[in-house]
Structures are given as structure tokens and as C-alpha cells.
Amino acid sequence: CDRDCVHVLSKVLRQSVRTIWHAESALHDVDVVVLPGGFSYGDYLRAGALAAKSPVMEAVRRFAEEGRYVVGVCNGFQILTEAGLLPGALLANLNLHFTCKEVGVRVERNDLPFTRLYPRGQVLRLPIAHGEGRYYADPETLARLEGEGLVVFRYAPLKDEADYNPNGSLHDIAGIVSEKGNVLGMMPHPERAVDEVLGNTDGLPFFLGLVREVAR
């Protein structure tokens, strides 16, 4: 997944990309941090729990506290919750199976760099690939997320599916953002939907909006 993210940013959008090893202690000169999907530390203990303690995460935390943009996709979302940069947790899918397929993802907000190029309410077709993607939070946290408009993406039917929620996430939550609007985590993979050759470009505006924001 890290190579997929590098591909969309460097080859498709022609941006300079630096890959940073988890044991490093500095981010150097970057505009955006992307924590990609994958299986950091083999998902031992809990998905993202060990990676959240990696040395580089202190630099990521400072970066986020400065109001700069951090994106966590799939395992990256899990790492952000384990590190306390986003609320809630990602639990095992209700079906207890690794699930890999395309799902419907509705855009709940389009006033953020990540979503500015989508109409609000648009249902995207994005791939998922996870075994621990069920978003969970206590009732108070859920109420705050909903009340403050911090749910950015929500699972939704592509057609008329009754079982469109692929993992049992509470409130059909597929992605959330921090109160400052600069740290975003999502389980679906926009980086896997950026090329016509793959038959899907629904994820491209996600990255393009972010690139345009930091280039201003």
C-alpha cells in the first residue's frame, strides 16, 4: 500500500515524495504525511498498536499539532487511533474475515482539502482490504463526532444492497477527521482507485484536492 500511495502522488500527480522509515525521528521537509495501509508489525497485539509507538510517530504527532495535514489509510487509520491522534478504535470485522472488495462510500463533507473536489453526498466506489475495520467508539464520542460533523466518509449502498456496511462499523463510519480538520483517517483505499486502466478513478480527487491545498 505504501507503493500505491507513492505511485499516485509521484507518477500520477507528479509530486516529490519522500519515504520515511518508521525508526526515524524526523519528518524532514514535507508538506503532508501519509500513513499507508498494510500490516505493520504483522498486526500483532492489535492492528496499528505497535506502529503507534514507533519513533517517527512523535514527529507525526508534532506535525499534526502544528495543524499540518496527516492522512491515515486502512492500517494508517488504525495507527492514528492507537496513537490517540483520532478517537475511537478499529475492531475485528463482524464476520471475522478479511474482506477485500469494492464498497460504496458517501462523502459527508466537502469543505476539506481531501473532499473539496467531490459533491457532498456523492457515493464513491472504493476498494477495502482489511480484517479489523469495524469503527467503534463510546456513545459520547459518537455523539461528538456526529454533532461536530467529524464523520467525513460513511459506507453507503452502491445500488440497493441491504448489507452495504462491510465490517459492522458503528454509524456506518468509514472515515473521520480531527477537530482541526487536518488529520484524516479512513479504511477504504482511495490510492487503489486512481487509474483508468484499473477501471476506477474515484479516489483521484481525494489526493488532487490535498495537493492543490498545500500548493497554494
Counts for the chain of helices (H) and strands (E), in that order = 5, 9
Active site residue 179: no
Residues 6+ apart with CB under 8 A from 14: none
Catalytic residue among 102, 108, 132, 191: 191
Active site residue 74: yes
Out of 74, 82, 130, 132, the active site residue is: 74
28 CB-near residues (< 8 Å, 6+ apart): 18, 20
Q: Give the amino acid at 132.
A: E
Among 102, 108, 130, 189, which one carries the catalytic annotation?
Answer: 189
In angstroms and rounded to an integer, the radius of gyration of the C-alpha atoms of the chain is 16
Residue 122 CA to residue 200 CA, distance in Å, equals: 15
Q: Which residues are catalytic?
A: 74, 189, 191
